[in-house]
């Protein structure tokens, strides 16, 4: 029986993934892989070679196809919507382009406070209707007991893209605004919080069972700066999400863990820089944990992959509430058989 949009069926509620998010006992450790629909899969490349990346994101039929293919091929316990963090910035007034070999480029970034006035709040989330249409198509065709995850970028990561105009090693412009132009920073972050909240809630209404917030760039901050300039806005965003649990994923700096927990979320998403047992002890055992094998391990032989996966599982010690994942996304050059093998290993070794 197919799920009605915006509703949780018994099969989904009692799925391995959703029970684990609630820290209820499950038969084995659930696993999904960040960037599981990606260039390492031949099936993905076959679709991607026919269109540009942004066309793939904006074609609901193709976004649904690659999402469903990845879940089926890998045998993972959740699908994650194929989309990108940045297209939400287009209706907010930024000129976004995906350049071959360069990645995303924003041609009119918000370099300083004088630019903030042209950054528009996303008041009508229907401007991203292609995302919700993809969600509906995916949910329609997913197995009845496989949840669909939606996602967005966290306010700091999105603000950094908007200010820097692309990737950065030092985040000079972002930090300069954060430190020196507090009113502009507050306006930017509050605008992002409201816009991203509407976007996530619309994904949930369309058929997502949980959502992940990616703070991929927050690791550049000290713990004090994260607590003062970023955490309040991430918390506001998480608190605004209705009807589905939030996975709060932050990478790059284990010193931020206690503040990451304070920002909220049903699940703390962890990168590979701290052992799982230590991280869980840091945030407290009354919250679920996701992670945290180094993605580069997948370049090793299968025996090494098994050893490293077991180390992560041993860190969880069989405690309910552990979702196995990599500490970041799977890399394009990866052997897909190693990813498939990892999923099987986790299901085998994580049996409870």
Q: Which residues contact 128 (CB under 8 A, 6 or more apart)?
A: 87, 88, 91, 122, 199, 202
- Which of 77, 84, 215, 271 is flagged as catalytic? 84
Q: Which residues contact 191 (CB under 8 A, 6 or more apart)?
A: 92, 119, 120, 121
Alpha-carbon span 251 to 162, nearest angstrom? 19
Query: Is 161 known to be catalytic?
Result: yes
Query: Is 118 known to be catalytic?
Result: no
**Whether 256 contacts 223, CB under 8 Å:** yes
User: Could you give the angle at the alpha carbon of 141 between the alpha carbons of 135 and 147, nearest 5°?
Assistant: 65
- Which of 16, 23, 48, 202 is flagged as catalytic? 48
Residues β-bridged to residue 335: none
Query: Is 139 known to be catalytic?
Result: no
78: which 2 tokens? Answer: 């959740």
Query: Is 72 known to be catalytic?
Result: no
**Whether 218 contacts 253, CB under 8 Å:** yes
Alpha-carbon span 203 to 212, nearest angstrom? 11
E strands of 272-342, at which residues?
A: 288-290, 322-323
- Which of 161, 199, 226, 233 is flagged as catalytic? 161
- Which of 16, 20, 23, 35 is flagged as catalytic? 35
The tokens 């890399």 sit on which residue? 331
Query: Is 45 known to be catalytic?
Result: no
Q: Which residues contact 43 (CB under 8 A, 6 or more apart)?
A: 66, 69, 70, 73
Give Cα 332 to chain centroid, integer Å.
17
The tokens 């713990």 sit on which residue? 223
Active site residues: 35, 39, 48, 84, 161
């Amino acid at each position: 029986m197919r799920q009605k949009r915006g509703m949780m069926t018994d099969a989904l509620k009692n799925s391995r993934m959703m029970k684990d998010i609630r820290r209820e006992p499950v038969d084995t450790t659930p696993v999904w892989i960040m960037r599981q629909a990606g260039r390492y899969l031949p099936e993905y490349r076959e679709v991607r070679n026919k269109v540009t990346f942004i066309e793939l994101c904006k074609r609901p039929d193709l976004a649904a196809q690659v999402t469903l293919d990845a879940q089926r091929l890998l045998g993972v316990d959740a699908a994650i919507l194929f989309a990108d963090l940045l297209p939400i910035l287009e209706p907010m007034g930024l000129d976004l382009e995906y350049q071959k070999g360069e990645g995303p480029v924003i041609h009119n970034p918000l370099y300083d406070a004088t630019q903030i006035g042209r950054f528009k709040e996303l008041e009508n989330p229907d401007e991203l209707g292609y995302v919700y249409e993809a969600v509906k198509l995916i949910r329609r065709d997913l197995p009845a007991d496989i949840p669909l995850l939606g996602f967005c970028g966290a306010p700091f990561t999105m603000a950094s893209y908007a200010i820097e105009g692309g990737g950065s090693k030092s985040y000079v412009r972002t930090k300069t605004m954060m430190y020196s132009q507090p009113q502009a920073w507050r306006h930017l972050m509050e605008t992002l919080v409201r816009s991203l909240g509407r976007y996530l809630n619309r994904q949930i209404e369309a058929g997502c069972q949980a959502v992940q917030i990616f703070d991929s760039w927050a690791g550049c901050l000290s713990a004090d700066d994260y607590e003062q300039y970023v955490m309040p806005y991430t918390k506001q965003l998480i608190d605004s999400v209705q009807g589905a649990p939030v996975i709060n994923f932050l990478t790059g700096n284990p010193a931020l863990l206690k503040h990451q927990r304070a920002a909220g979320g049903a699940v703390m998403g962890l990168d590979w820089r701290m052992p799982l047992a230590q991280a869980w002890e840091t945030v407290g055992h009354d919250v679920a944990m996701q992670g945290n094998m180094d993605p580069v391990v997948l370049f090793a032989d299968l025996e090494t992959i098994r050893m490293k996966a077991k180390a992560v599982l041993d860190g969880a010690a069989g405690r309910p509430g552990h979702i196995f994942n990599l500490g970041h996304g799977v890399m394009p050059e990866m052997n897909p058989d190693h990813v498939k093998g990892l999923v099987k290993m986790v299901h085998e070794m994580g049996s409870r």
